Structure 1
Amino acid sequence: MPRLAETAYTEQPWRIHEFTKDFCVEDVWSFRTPGAGPDDFPLMLAAMRAAGGPAKQPWLVRLLFAVRWKLGAIFGWDKPSAGVGERVSSLRDRLPDDLRDAPRGPDDEGMPLKAVYELDRESARELANKTVHTVMHLGWVQGANDGYELRMAVLVKPNGTFGRLYMAAIAPFRHLIVYPSLTRQWERAWRDRNEVKAKDEEGESC
């Protein structure tokens, strides 16, 4: 199953552990990348970006996001005053010097999470509103079958009781609809990237 135990994240030597001790691990998810090697994390990130963000998801996922943004507009959950740099400080303010000088990765207007840092085998993005301050951590690890795979950990710091209730309320939607759809999108992105690479190599050999 794509969903993993919390230890699949906490026992890895990720740099993000150094400055997110006040966050809780909400979800850990795996994504299969057959044939991937230890240095393919940047290629996986590029494939994911090429596959598009929430706008490329199936209609049900898009509907859930549309409802969420509509509720946020009605109740003021997503006002700039509730975001990163306003209600909460960015994780970038906590980074040690070597990570602060590392590439951040590109931001995309279609992706609400903003880049914190991007390394050879891990990256982090963050988002804050009136409900939570959340971090999406992506890591590249050796899987059970000797190949490498992508893992995503979602870290959260709920904004009081309301934030905790909000996270509990959306958990079924994340686990049953959003994450499975994301799994299909990202795993397909990896497969499609391999197909394009194979075609390019065939063309070069002719």
Structure 2
Amino acid sequence: MKLPKSEHFSRPWRIHELARDFRLEDVWALPTPGGPDDFPRLVRTATSFEARRRPSLVGLLFAIRLGLGRVLGWDRPSKDDTRQRLRERLPGELRARPSTVSPALGFDPLFQLHDEWAAEIVNRTVHGVIHLGWVPDGEGGYRGQMAILVKPKGLFGEAYMLAISPFRYLIVYPRMLERIGQQWFSYSADRS
């Protein structure tokens, strides 16, 4: 379920200090009810998403995007990419807390805390961050929350974000959230 942006900004996430110059694109409640110690499981579940390996509409969209990126050079690194990376902004205590997983789809992990995880992707269209948090659900439990932060690269990056918006909202996010929920509940059922 899509959440108001205030749900992200109202929490004391460490990502706020690193990504001040990013735009918060989306905030989602994840279908992952759990207890206070289940956050590492959420990180493993969410980062195992590999659309290209499964025949699906999302997989097709990612294949098209990767093909266009290869042909048009969108994913080749630019000389500014290294110094633009958030990894370069990490304070020592976050550098000492690396991710326990490597995310899919070209993202590079930044850090992992007991209730917060982040990864970034940099290409010639955008600098993007996926952020996961573990938040109280108001009923004595917890649930996952996902935020997408972006910094489009110029007018082309803005146009790119606008062009992919319908695909993200109508296809990618709904199917990704559904898959995360299915994995979460199948794991819970397997442990019963």
Instruction: Tell me, yes or no, whether TM beats 0.5.
Output: yes
TM-score range, shorter chain: over 0.9
Q: How far apart, CA to CA, are the structure 1 residues paired with 2:106 and 2:79?
A: 14
Which of 66, 69, 83 does residue 69 from structure 1 map onto? Answer: 66
Using the TM superposition, give the Cα deviation of residue 146 of structure 1 relative to its aligned residue in structure 2, in angstroms. Answer: 3.2
Instruction: Report the TM-score when normalising by structure 2.
Output: 0.92
After superposition, the CA RMSD in angstroms is 1.8
Which of 87, 92, 99 does residue 94 from structure 2 map onto? Answer: 99
Q: How far apart, CA to CA, are the structure 1 residues paired with 2:129 and 2:120?
A: 4
Identity of aligned residues (%): 43
- 8 Å Cα contact 1:33/1:150 also seen in 2: yes
Q: How far apart, CA to CA, are the structure 2 residues paired with 1:133 and 1:84?
A: 9
- 8 Å Cα contact 2:44/2:101 also seen in 1: no
- Matched to 1:45, the amino acid is V
Q: How far apart, CA to CA, are the structure 1 residues paired with 2:186 and 2:53?
A: 15
Q: How far apart, CA to CA, are the structure 1 residues paired with 2:90 and 2:142?
A: 27
Note the residue ranges of structure 1 that are not aligned, 5 or more in a row: 199-206
SS in structure 1 at match of 2:185 = helix
- Matched to 2:44, the amino acid is A
Q: How far apart, CA to CA, are the structure 1 residues paired with 2:160 and 2:138?
A: 34
Q: How far apart, CA to CA, are the structure 2 residues paired with 1:120 and 1:84?
A: 29
Q: For this pair of structures, how many residues does the alignment match? A: 192
Using the TM superposition, give the Cα deviation of residue 70 of structure 1 relative to its aligned residue in structure 2, in angstroms. Answer: 1.2
Note the residue ranges of structure 2 that are not aligned, 5 or more in a row: none
Instruction: Report the TM-score when normalising by structure 1.
Output: 0.86
SS in structure 2 at match of 1:4 = coil
Q: How far apart, CA to CA, are the structure 1 residues paired with 2:19 and 2:49?
A: 28
Q: How far apart, CA to CA, are the structure 1 residues paired with 2:175 and 2:79?
A: 28
Q: How far apart, CA to CA, are the structure 2 residues paired with 1:3 and 1:58?
A: 26
Q: How far apart, CA to CA, are the structure 2 residues paired with 1:130 and 1:187?
A: 32
Structure 2 counterparts to residues 44-193 of structure 1, below 5 A: 44-49=42-47, 52-55=49-52, 59-81=56-78, 84-85=81-82, 88-107=83-102, 110-193=104-187
Using the TM superposition, give the Cα deviation of residue 143 of structure 1 relative to its aligned residue in structure 2, in angstroms. Answer: 1.7
Using the TM superposition, give the Cα deviation of residue 27 of structure 1 relative to its aligned residue in structure 2, in angstroms. Answer: 0.9
Using the TM superposition, give the Cα deviation of residue 195 of structure 1 relative to its aligned residue in structure 2, in angstroms. Answer: 1.5
Q: How far apart, CA to CA, are the structure 2 residues paired with 1:45 and 1:74?
A: 32
- Matched to 1:81, the amino acid is S
